[in-house]
Chains A and B, each alone.
Chain A
Amino acid sequence: MKKPYSHLLKICLTLSLFAAAGAPGQNEITIQPELKVVGSTKPIPVSLEGFGSDVADVLRFDLYVQGFSFVAPDAARYQISGTSAGSVQGRVVDRFAKSTILTRNYTGAALRRQAHAFADDIVQAITHKNGIAQTKIAFKAQGADGNGEIYVADFDGHNALAVTHDNTIVAAPAWVPGRLALYYDSYKLDNPDIWYSDLTTGQRRVVAHYSGSNISPAVSPDGSRVAMILSKSGSPDVWVSDADGSNLKQLTATPEDESSPCWSPDGRWICFATRISERRVLAKVPAGGGAFQRIPTAGAPNPTEPDWSPDGKWIAFTSQTGDFNICVVPADGSAPPVVLVAGEDPSWSPNSRTLIFTRRTGDRYVLSVLDVFTKQVKDIARISGNDSQPAWAR
C-alpha cells in the first residue's frame, strides 16, 4: 500500500512544483486540457434523471458546489441517471465521447450516504479529482443570548452532533488534521480558554487557561503543535505550544491585536491578522520564531481570518469594507487578491477547491459552501440560531 501512494505523491508534487514556478522552459508538462480560473470558470453542464427526490437533492447540492450545473439531457456534457429505490444505482454517460464512464451500485448505510458516495464517484470520473461529499465540518451554533455549542456535521450540515454542552460562549473550532479531534474555545471556566476534545473517546481537557485571552487555536499539519492567541504578555499575541499546551513559546510581541492564526501546509509558517502602521494586514511568522513579514493583500482592505489552502497555493481571508467579502490570494503574493462573494471566516476543503464560510442574512448567520472556480454557492442545512466559524476537517 505504501509504495504506490508515495509514487503518485511524488508525481503530483513534481507537477505542482513545475506549475507553481510558472516554469516557461518546462514545456514537456501538459497538466490540464482546460485551464481554470478562480472565480470565473464555467460550470460543467450535467443532467440528472431517475432518482427519488431525496437522493436527487443530495446529488444536486454536492455537484452544484463542486462546479456542475444542471441542464436538460440533450444539452448536457455528462448525463447522470439511475434509481434510488432501496439503494442508489447510478450511471454517468459522456455525451460527447458517447461512452459510459461510470456505472455503480451502492449498498449499506443510509440512502443519503450512498448518494454522497455516488457524488464523489461522479466527481472522480469526470474531473479525476477527489470530491468533498463525504467530508466533515465543525462550527459553532449560537443562540440569541450569545451562548452556543461546538458542533460537527457532514459538510452539507446534515447529521450534526454537539461536541460541547457548556451553555456558555464557545468559539473557533479547529480540527486536528486526519483525526476526529478538535481544539476550540469555551468560557466554561468563566474565561476564554482553549480546550481539546477527542471525538472518538469523548476525552476533554484544557490546553490554555491563562489570564486574559486564550483563543483562536490552529493545529499544525502534523498535529504536534498548536498556534493560538494569548494576551498574557499584555497584548493579544501569537503563541505556539505542543499539542497538550506545554512548551509554550511567544511568536509575536506587538502592542497590536493579533488574531486568527493558521498554518502553512508544510508547517513552516503561521499566518495571522494584525496591524502595521494603523493598517490591518495579514502577516506570516516562521513557526519556530523569527521576524514576521507581510502578505500582500492590496485591493482587499482590512483583511482578517486567513486560512491557508491544503495545497499551499492560496490564502483565503475576509476583507471588511463595511460589508464582508471572501477573498483568495496566492500565498506567494504573485497576484492580487480575487474577491469572490459576500461572507466571512472562510475554511478550505481538503481538496483546496471549495470554501465553507459564514454568511450574514438579515440578523442571522448561516454557513455557505462556495466553489472558488465557478463562484457557485449554496447555504448548508442550519442547526439553530446562528451558525458560524466553520472549520473543514482535512
Chain B
Amino acid sequence: MKMMKLTCLLAFTLAAVLAATGCKNHRPVGVTQLPRGAGSTIPEAPPGPTMSGEQSPSGIPLPNIEDINGMAADRAQLASYTVHFAYDSAAVRKSEKANVQAVADALSRDSSAKLMIEGNCDERGTDEYNRSLGERRALAVRKELVKHGIDPMRVFTKSFGKDRPVDPGHDESAWSKNRRDDFVLLHPKSGS
C-alpha cells in the first residue's frame, strides 16, 4: 500500500511538470514529421466476404480447445499446401486458392480429422501486432475452408507471430516465405 501511495504521489507530482510543458507549448520543438504517405505503402486488403451463418461481428467463433485434446498431430500430410500472404495482409490471394482447396479436400476425405492452422508473420511488424496478424491469417483461411463446406468446429487456429520463421534471413525472399499459414492435420489416436 505504501508503495502504491508513493507511486500515485509521484505520478501526480510529475503530472504537474508535464502539464506545465503542455501549457507553454502545444507544438513541441524538434518534432520530426514522418512522411504522411507512408501508410499507403501497405497493400490494401479487399473487404472480407460477408459470411452467411456468421455468428458474431468478429467472425466465426472457434471450437473448444479441449476438443483436440489427445489427438495426434500430422505435420507431413499437408506440408506442401502452405498458404502465403502479402506484406501486412491477411487476405487469401487467388494464387493460394488451390492450396486451400487441397486442404478442404483432405478434410472432406477424412471426416474424423480436425485441422490446426498455424499463422505466421515476417519479422517486420511489432511483436504483439504480429501475433494478432498471424491469428488473423489463420482465421482467414479457416473462413475460406468454411466456404468450401468444412464444418468450422473442425478447424482450430494458432498464431506464432514472428517467432517461428522458416527462413531466418532478413530480406524479402525470406520474409515472403515466413508470411504463411501451415496446416497440421489432427487424427484421433488409434483406439479412441
Residues of A whose CB lies within 8 Å of any CB of B are 1, 5, 8-9, 12-13, 15-16, 18-20, 22, 31-32, 35-40, 129-130, 142, 144, 146, 169, 171-172, 177-178, 191-192, 209-213, 215-216, 229, 231-237, 253-260, 265, 273, 278-280, 298-302, 304-305, 309-314, 318-322, 324-325, 330, 334-336, 338-339, 344-345, 350-353, 358, 363, 388-389, 394
* Chain B residues with CB under 8 A of A191: 65, 158
The 10 closest A-B pairs by CB, nearest first: A234-B59, A19-B19, A16-B15, A211-B62, A311-B15, A12-B12, A235-B58, A257-B132, A146-B163, A178-B4
Q: In the docked arrangement, what's the CA distance between A219 and B145, Å?
A: 36
5 A-B contacts, Cβ less than 8 Å apart? A212-B139, A215-B128, A305-B129, A311-B12, A313-B15
Give the contacting residue for A345; candidates B127, B156, B164; CB below 8 A: B127
B24 touches A311 (CB 8 A): no
Shortest CB-to-CB span from A209 to chain B, Å, is: 6
Asked if B189 is at the interface of the complex by the 8 Å CB criterion, the answer is no
CB contact under 8 A between A130 and B58, given known A235-B139, A313-B22: no
Scan B1-21; emit 1 where CB is below 8 A from any A CB, else 0. Answer: 111111111111111111111
A178 touches B34 (CB 8 A): no
* Chain A residues with CB under 8 A of B65: 191, 209-211
* Chain A residues with CB under 8 A of B56: 233-234, 253
Asked if B177 is at the interface of the complex by the 8 Å CB criterion, the answer is no
Shortest CB-to-CB span from B28 to chain A, Å, is: 5
Give the contacting residue for B7; candidates A213, A254, A305, A350; CB below 8 A: A350
Asked if B25 is at the interface of the complex by the 8 Å CB criterion, the answer is yes
CB contact under 8 A between A211 and B26, given known A5-B9, A237-B58, A301-B34: no
* Chain A residues with CB under 8 A of B25: 35, 37
A300 touches B34 (CB 8 A): yes
CB contact under 8 A between A339 and B34, given known A211-B65, A273-B129: yes
Q: In the docked arrangement, what's the CA distance between A47 and B36, Å?
A: 43
Shortest CB-to-CB span from A336 to chain B, Å, is: 7
B31 touches A211 (CB 8 A): no
Question: Which size bracket describes the interface of B in this complex?
Answer: 35 or more
B128 touches A313 (CB 8 A): no
Q: In the docked arrangement, what's the CA distance between A306 and B1, Å?
A: 27
* Chain B residues with CB under 8 A of A310: 7, 10-11
Name the CB-closest residue of A to B170: A363
Name the CB-closest residue of A to B162: A146
Interface contacts beyond A37-B25, A335-B26: sample of 5 additional A-B pairs, CB < 8 Å, sorted by A: A16-B12, A305-B126, A338-B28, A350-B7, A351-B11
A394 touches B7 (CB 8 A): yes
B15 touches A320 (CB 8 A): no
Q: In the docked arrangement, what's the CA distance between A231 and B63, Å?
A: 11
Shortest CB-to-CB span from B114 to chain A, Å, is: 11
B5 touches A5 (CB 8 A): yes
* Chain B residues with CB under 8 A of A129: 10, 13-14, 17
CB contact under 8 A between A19 and B22, given known A216-B131, A299-B33: yes
Shortest CB-to-CB span from B151 to chain A, Å, is: 14
* Chain B residues with CB under 8 A of A233: 56, 58-59, 61-62
B28 touches A311 (CB 8 A): no
CB contact under 8 A between A39 and B30, given known A169-B160, A299-B36, A305-B126: yes
CB contact under 8 A between A213 and B6, given known A19-B19, A37-B29: no
Q: In the docked arrangement, what's the CA distance between A320 and B19, Å?
A: 27
CB contact under 8 A between A37 and B21, given known A130-B6, A254-B58: yes
* Chain B residues with CB under 8 A of A313: 15, 18-19, 22
* Chain B residues with CB under 8 A of A5: 5, 9
CB contact under 8 A between A389 and B127, given known A38-B28, A257-B133: yes
Shortest CB-to-CB span from B122 to chain A, Å, is: 13
B11 touches A352 (CB 8 A): yes
A39 touches B22 (CB 8 A): no
Asked if B188 is at the interface of the complex by the 8 Å CB criterion, the answer is no
Asked if B96 is at the interface of the complex by the 8 Å CB criterion, the answer is no
A32 touches B16 (CB 8 A): yes
* Chain B residues with CB under 8 A of A256: 136
* Chain A residues with CB under 8 A of B158: 191-192, 212-213
Give the contacting residue for B58; candidates A35, A234, A279; CB below 8 A: A234
A12 touches B9 (CB 8 A): yes
* Chain A residues with CB under 8 A of B57: 253-255
* Chain B residues with CB under 8 A of A32: 16-17, 20
Q: In the docked arrangement, what's the CA distance between A152 and B36, Å?
A: 38
A31 touches B59 (CB 8 A): no
Asked if B48 is at the interface of the complex by the 8 Å CB criterion, the answer is yes
Name the CB-closest residue of B to A19: B19
Scan B133-176; emit 1 where CB is below 8 A from any A CB, else 0. Answer: 10110110000000000000000111111011100101000000
